[in-house]
């Protein structure tokens, strides 16, 4: 069994402190001896020593009287940080149950001994060579100030990692250059990355560090509403960016990547994030090679996977099973950039923090829900489809279903990621499997001879419309109408919640507009201009009583004079923070494919043929009949 390196064998606690007399000192010495020598440990178990010593520090903070400089006012926060770190590390490392019990019993014995010791003790002061930095944790509200960043050190408390390594696999691709690197720089510029971090680009091209820095420099921009020290920040960020040519053997390449990371991280190790910006056909080989050869042994590891998450129920199950052989579910972050939009985050805020909406959020008051994502002529209709299901796998399976889940789920126990995911998967499992009579699939037909026409052919769906039903007590018989398309006349992304008619409306005769428009609506608009609108009926000024519909609006660009972060910036921040509520869990992926399976089977059998529509039009003509079938006027039209 390999012994630990000398730096881990005999740690000494060097800190200027005031502690109580002999009984307290002997207890702490016994604790150190037990933590280090009770079990012969291999290098792979070194995290356990760090945890035991962290337990020692926690006990010392809670029971000893520290009077060193700046310690009193920091003691409470330090205790909280240690407890959080201990919880987070347990999720990423397995340890036999009896060993955890031993440590808990040992801690309990120490506390018991302390409680019986005399309160009137003498104190002595020990002046020691150097001090350690206090623990830090990146949280939802954690923003590193300049002074905090400059105080951060590569030296950690008894081997606890505090370096953050982020590897972008596929670093020379368009997604990495246009979105991922700019998002990481935006986080750094705004103070949401720790001082000790490194960005590692990995691909098969023969480049140097300077080549990668030059490539991404032109894509980095500073906040429009800030701009302080922009060039200085940009140069500092680029200096922390490194490149590795992985070659064509991913296993060997990942070993080289890990070695390069360790070289930059230093002897104490680090937490690592791997963003797999690679084609679907290469995903498994890269992920499995990474699992075997590049994971940190002394910190947590998180893996970001781009959509689509399989192409159907079977392929998704195979992909998930392979990933879970090497990773824990908590390590996987299935990213969909559309879910990082501010409008999506606003769904839960509107629902659960506004009393005016909470009692109305059910079948008794809501007539229908419309989810719209239409892209106009300015966007290429053939982008990014990796399989024959086109927009169904690219947008509907992830973004649309996750939007509906967040919109319609029951209140979670807390806002913790797993509690939110538990409610989302319950909702997804309650969605009735789609009947092809409630589905319209379309294919954009670009002008003859164009590049798009050659790429699209006649089979790849670029339009999907459907009526979904949720079989539970809250939403029984309420249609959720979906319209998703590319190459349409409007660029619009919004959710429209239409309420029922006022029963026995006294003003029915005075409504001067279409009675369908007299229904109250709540509109959450993401594009073209982010806004929250409420449609209400009001009296038209003048003699007599005539009613009209008006929109009470909160237009974000008028209300808030700030730049809204890009969706990749939001989601990367969540990954760093360990917040996974906007990322699909494996059971959510399965539940969504299960709902879509009948439609995919009919497409495979050619029983459901995509209907062609003109580029720049409103989509397939049959969509109008689908809305009429359910007695709904599509308000966007």
3-class DSSP state of 84: helix
501 is catalytic: no
**Geometric angle at alpha carbon 375, from 374 and 380, rounded to 5°:** 150
CA atoms within a 13 Å half-sphere pointing along the CA-CB vector of 551: 13
Place of tokens 């020990």: 126
Chain centre to alpha carbon of residue 342: 13
Contacts of 226 (CB under 8 A, 6+ apart): 189, 190
CA atoms within a 13 Å half-sphere pointing along the CA-CB vector of 559: 9
Place of tokens 């992304």: 493
Q: Per the residue annotation, which of 73, 97, 317, 399 is the catalytic one? A: 399
Chain centre to alpha carbon of residue 221: 23
480 closest CA partner among 375, 404, 535: 404
625 closest CA partner among 485, 480, 465: 465
d(CA 378, CA 387): 23
d(CA 186, CA 225): 12
Q: Cα dist. 518→511, 515, 521, 533, 551 in Å?
A: 8, 5, 9, 15, 12
624 is written with which tokens?
A: 């109008």
585 closest CA partner among 338, 235, 320: 320
d(CA 338, CA 588): 17
**Geometric angle at alpha carbon 374, from 371 and 379, rounded to 5°:** 150
Do residues 177 and 205 lie in contact, with contact meaning Cβ atoms separated by under 8 Å? no
CA atoms within a 13 Å half-sphere pointing along the CA-CB vector of 249: 5
d(CA 633, CA 173): 43
Active-site annotation, residues: 399
């Amino acid at each position: 069994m390999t012994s630990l390196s000398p730096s881990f064998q005999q740690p000494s606690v060097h800190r200027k402190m005031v502690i109580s007399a002999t009984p307290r000192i002997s207890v702490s010495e016994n604790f150190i001896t037990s933590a280090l020598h009770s079990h012969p440990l291999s290098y792979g178990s070194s995290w356990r020593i760090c945890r035991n010593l962290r337990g020692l520090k926690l006990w010392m903070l809670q029971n000893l009287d520290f009077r060193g400089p700046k310690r009193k006012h920091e003691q409470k926060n330090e205790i909280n940080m240690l407890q959080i770190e201990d919880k987070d590390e347990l999720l990423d490392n397995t340890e036999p149950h009896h060993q955890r019990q031993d440590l808990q019993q040992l801690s309990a014995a120490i506390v018991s001994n302390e409680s019986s010791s005399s309160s009137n003790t003498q104190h002595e002061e020990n002046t020691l060579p150097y001090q350690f930095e206090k623990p830090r944790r990146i949280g939802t509200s954690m923003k590193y100030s300049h002074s905090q960043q400059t105080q951060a050190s590569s030296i950690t408390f008894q081997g606890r990692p505090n370096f953050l390594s982020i590897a972008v696999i596929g670093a020379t691709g368009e997604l990495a250059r246009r979105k991922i690197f700019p998002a990481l720089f935006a986080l750094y510029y705004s103070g949401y990355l720790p001082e000790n971090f490194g960005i590692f680009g990995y691909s098969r091209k023969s480049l140097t560090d300077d080549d990668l820095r030059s490539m991404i420099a032109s894509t980095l921009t500073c906040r429009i509403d800030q701009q302080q020290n922009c060039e200085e920040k940009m140069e500092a960020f680029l200096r922390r960016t490194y490149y590795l040519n992985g070659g064509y053997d991913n296993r060997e390449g990942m070993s080289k990547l890990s070695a390069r990371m360790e070289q930059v991280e230093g002897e104490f190790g680090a937490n690592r994030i791997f963003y797999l910006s690679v084609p679907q056909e290469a995903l498994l080989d890269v992920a499995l090679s990474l699992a075997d050869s590049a994971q940190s042994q002394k910190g947590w590891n998180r893996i970001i996977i781009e959509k689509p998450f399989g192409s159907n129920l079977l392929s998704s199950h195979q992909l998930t099973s392979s990933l879970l052989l090497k990773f824990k579910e908590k390590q996987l972050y299935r990213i969909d950039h559309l879910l990082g939009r501010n409008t999506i985050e606003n769904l839960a805020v509107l629902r659960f923090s506004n009393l005016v909406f909470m009692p109305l959020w059910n079948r008794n008051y809501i007539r229908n829900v419309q989810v719209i994502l239409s892209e106009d002529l300015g966007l290429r209709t053939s982008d990014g489809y990796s399989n024959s299901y086109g927009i169904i796998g690219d947008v509907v399976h992830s973004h649309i279903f996750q939007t509906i889940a967040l919109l319609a789920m029951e209140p979670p126990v807390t806002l913790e990621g797993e509690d939110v995911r538990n409610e989302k998967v319950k909702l997804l499992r309650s969605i009735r499997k789609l009947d092809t009579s409630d589905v319209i699939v379309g294919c954009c037909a670009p002008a003859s001879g164009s590049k798009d026409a050659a790429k699209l052919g006649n089979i790849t769906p670029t339009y999907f419309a459907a009526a979904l039903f949720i079989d539970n007590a809250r939403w029984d018989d309420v249609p959720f109408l979906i319209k998703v398309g590319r190459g349409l006349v409007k660029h619009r992304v919004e959710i429209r919640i239409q309420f029922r008619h006022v029963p026995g409306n006294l003003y029915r005769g005075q409504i001067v507009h279409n009675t369908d428009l007299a229904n109250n609506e709540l509109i959450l608009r993401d594009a073209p201009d982010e806004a929250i609108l409420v449609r209400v009926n009001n009296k038209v000024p003048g003699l007599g009583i005539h009613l009209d519909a008006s929109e009470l609006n909160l237009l974000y660009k008028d209300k808030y004079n700030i730049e809204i972060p890009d969706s990749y910036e939001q989601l990367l921040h969540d990954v760093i923070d360990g917040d996974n509520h906007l990322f699909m869990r494996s059971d959510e992926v399965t539940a969504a494919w299960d709902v879509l399976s009948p439609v995919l089977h009919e497409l495979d059998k050619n029983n459901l043929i995509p209907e062609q529509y003109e580029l720049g039009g409103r989509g397939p003509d049959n969509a109008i009949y689908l809305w009429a079938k359910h007695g709904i006027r599509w308000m966007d039209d």
